[in-house]
Amino acid sequence: MELFDNHKSLYRTAFLLFVILTVFVAIIPAMNNQRNNTPLPDAPALSPAAVKGKALFVSNGCVACHTQQVRNVDMDKKWGSRPSIAADYADNHRTDFWRNTATLMGTERTGPDLTDIGTRQPGEDWHLTHLFNPRIVAPASVMPAYPWLFTEKKEAAKNDVVVKIPDEYKEEGTVIVATLQALQLVAYLKELKQVKLPDGTEIPAFLYAKQPSAANVANGTAAGAPDGRLYTLIIVRAVISRTEKD
């Protein structure tokens, strides 16, 4: 065929096929997805300080240990009032022309989910203390401290935001002052709040909830708690079987 004998025609055909596939496989689906998935009506836009805090959240590696997705499983009820939906992420935009936005949904929960952290922990003081040294507010925390987001001074200036740090965590006679970056990061965390669905919208259900067994109900034990009689029966049978073999 002439197509395969003429390298110019071959390259042009291959390029045209690539463009067509790109349009139908990538561009059109992306446009449809953007049109069909819009933010919830009551979803507020991030404040300017929170936008900068979001960039700090990404640059400091917080996305490696914290998720922002409430799954539709019963164990995720403590992270939000409902499972997350596509509209919760519809307002994520590109960082700039060259870079896409970071995937803040996360893949691992070394720390708690932050979808609704602004509701669970609305206080600025708690967040600042937690960033300076997580062990102050959560002794068992494995989260690293972020002391570079703070300044240690002998005396605070008029407009400084002083962080309430116990004496054993700082030098005597000094105060810990939050930098602008620390305040921006906290502003972002405080604005992470799960938005309510519009009135009349069916709320997705949390799945796989533990149901109390008949034995648990009869004994008054907690839902999902192990039935001790079953384990006792298994052990007794194992002992009898072992004895018969011996």
Domain ranges of the chain: 1-36, 37-190
Q: What is the per-residue pLDDT for 113?
A: 97
Query: Which secondary structure element, helix H or strand E, spans residue 43, and what is its range?
Result: none
pLDDT of residue 226: 53
The share of the chain scoring above pLDDT 70, in percent, equals 85
Range with lowest mean pLDDT among 59-73, 168-182, 216-230: 216-230
pLDDT confidence bin for 229, thresholds 50/70/90: low
- pLDDT above 80: residue 245: no
Give 128-161 pLDDT, tens digit per residue: 999 999 999 999 999 999 999 999 999 999 999 9
Please give the Cα distance from 95 to 129 (Å, whole number).
29
Are 183 and 163 in contact by the 8 Å Cβ rule? The answer is no
What pTM value is reported for the model?
A: 0.77
Beta strands in the chain (DSSP E): 150-153, 162-163, 175-178
- What's the maximum distance between 2 C-alpha atoms anywhere in the chain? 86
User: What's the distance, Cα to Cα, between the start and end of the chain in Å?
Assistant: 82
114 CB neighbour count, 10 Å cutoff: 24
* Topology of the domain comprising 37-190: Cytochrome Bc1 Complex; Chain D, domain 2 (1.10.760)
